[in-house]
Amino acid sequence: MSQAFFLILFVFLLVESRLPQDIYLDYSITLTAEQDIDLDYPVKLFFQLNPLIWITSLISGHQWIKGFGWALGIIALTFFSGKVFCGFICPFGTIHHMVSYIRPALKKQSMIYANQKHPSQRFKYFLLILFLVAAMLGLNLTGLLDPIAFLFRSLALAVFPGLGTGIKELFDLAAQSDIKTLNYISYGGEVLVSPVFGYGYKAFKSAWFIGILFLVILFLNRIRPRFWCRTLCPLGALLGVFARFSILRLEKHTEKCTECKLCLESCQGAASPVPGQEWEATECMFCFNCFNACPENAIAFKLGWLPSVSKRPDMGRRAVLGGLVAGISFPFLGRLDGRVHKVSDACLVRPPGSLPEKDFLKLCQRCGLCMKVCPTNAINPALTEAGMAGFWTPNLIMTQGYCEYTCTLCGSVCPTGAIYEFSVKEKIESPIKIGSAYIDRGRCLPWSGNGPCIVCEEHCPTSPKAIRLSEGPVPLPEGKEASAKLPYMDLKICVGCGICEYKCPVRGRPAIRVMAAGESRSLKNQILLKA
């Protein structure tokens, strides 16, 4: 019940991470001022519930991020009753639960065998230590495998857009039909479906990879139930460390046990529920399956107020040392490409309000919230632009969308403040620059003598415009000379929003392009002496 509730809540908040559907603003307000459009629901909730994200952000970013009181509550809950988060709240856990147990791949003996504790379960501690140590050294990789970030990214960037694309193709087919009824069905269907799946076709670079990874992780449940939770989940590992002190404990009555192993067959966490073995408090997800399965009442969950602690988490020396070594190496390996210290990739345009690159990598969880919420679909997960350290961090692709001048959504959803919360006023008046545009005169229509255009100037949102026109002579392809309105950039004014690149009629590689140089978050990555 509670699992279903939290899974539905998670998906609901994921769907709500979009431009608000309420377009009925009272315009009497906007008659005189810019207005912020805010989201209706606390879409960051599950990230704020997440102690792993909180701790890694705290030790890497050295700051208390607003709204993470929830995570403290989860830690307190874990002290009281173990990893109930895994068994009752975690939406990713619920999905694994469903996949593993609704149609189990394993039967009886093989299930009992698969549910025995396995040394591979130490691997999650390796990951936990890696993430904690790396975070301490300024690289926050947590989001790559944090269950909430992983699930959000997979659903928001791969599963939902994938389904949406399929449905939209169907509707487009119906729309092209000559049968009127089909046209109406197509429009009506789109009206219903697009609030969920997004407006038009969504595209995310490397989403196929995100999707395949998600499928593989789900498939692993057939090899061993809740494979992810047992072997990979770093959040589970972190909660396991606290769960050791849990007051709620499994009590075993060895004398009643008939060794039927029904408890083990139903155990989700491979936590050795069979009497006679030592119970693994740090692995147990408190699903209470064993308790329900036992026909002899040989096991029961009891509150023990005694100041005793359960078995230490079985990390294994190799996992600890391996975690330490990897955790220390990764941040420095990640900086070896020089993108933080020497020169960043020209195409790495970050969302407005992003922190300086070094601080950004300390906080960004690569969760995909900003990418999901971006109304123009400009924000994409970076593949190579930000280097290894910035894999899947947000990157704006201006041929796919652009940064709308008065939109502030990405800043308002970022759970860790890697993109800080900014207002429309701040964005326009500071101004927050994300880069600057330059004109490729060889491709530009008027500059190359291929006809009038000015589309970039027309769309430029600043006032005065950053793209100006000047009448000048241009040589035509046939050798004659003509006069044309030629676009010029004013770098002092350009904010790098990219609408010029997006709307440029020159297909393929647009004749005006945005690069990160000039972004206000960096002191180094500048062009002009004084902006």
Partner 1 sequence: MNCHPITRRESIKKLLKISGGFALTGVMTWPFQKPLSARAGSINQNFIIEGIGQSNEYSVKTLTRKVFEAAGGIRQFISKQDVVVIKPNLSWARPPYLAATTNPEVLEAVVELCQEAGAKKVRIADHTIHDARRCFAITGAGMVAKRTGADLVFPRSSLMRNMKLQGHRLDVWPVFVPLVEADKVINLQVAKVHALSGLTLGMKNWIGAVGGRRSALHQDIHLTIVDLAQFFNPTLTLIDATRIMIANGPSGGSSSDVTVLNRLILSDDPVAADAKAAGFFDFRPQDIGFIRLGHRWGIGTYEFQKLRQHKVII
Q: Which residues bind partner 1 (CB under 8 A)?
A: 19, 21-27, 30-35, 37, 171-172, 174-176, 183, 186-187, 190-191, 194, 199-200, 375-376, 404-407, 445, 451-455, 457-465, 469, 485, 503-505
Closest C-alpha to 496, from 432, 443, 441, 447: 432
Closest C-alpha to 373, from 129, 94, 113, 152: 152
Shortest approach of partner 1 to residue 244 CB, angstroms?
50
How many C-beta atoms lie closer than 10 Å to residue 108's C-beta? Answer: 10
DSSP state of 473: E
Pick the closer one to partner 1 by CB: 330 or 402: 402
Shortest approach of partner 1 to residue 434 CB, angstroms?
17
DSSP labels, 104-136: -SS-HHHHHHHTS--GGGGHHHHHHHHHHHHHH
Pick the closer one to partner 1 by CB: 271 or 467: 467
Pick the closer one to partner 1 by CB: 21 or 109: 21
Check if the beta carbon of residue 83 is closer than 8 Å to that of residue 51.
Answer: no
Pick the closer one to partner 1 by CB: 144 or 175: 175
Residues 6+ apart with CB under 8 A from 113: none
DSSP state of 220: G
Tokens 């002092």 map to which residue?
492
Shortest approach of partner 1 to residue 381 CB, angstroms?
21
Pick the closer one to partner 1 by CB: 384 or 462: 462
Sort 97 into a burial class: Cβ within 10 Å, 0-12 / 13-18 / 19+: buried
Cα 292 to the chain's mean position, in Å?
37
Shortest approach of partner 1 to residue 31 CB, angstroms?
5
What does the alpha-carbon distance between residue 360 and residue 350 come to, in Å, rounded to a whole number?
A: 10
Shortest approach of partner 1 to residue 488 CB, angstroms?
12
Shortest approach of partner 1 to residue 28 CB, angstroms?
8
Pick the closer one to partner 1 by CB: 27 or 305: 27
Check if the beta carbon of residue 404 is closer than 8 Å to that of residue 424.
Answer: no
Shortest approach of partner 1 to residue 475 CB, angstroms?
18
DSSP state of 312: P
Pick the closer one to partner 1 by CB: 21 or 120: 21
* Residue 471, helix vs strand vs coil: strand
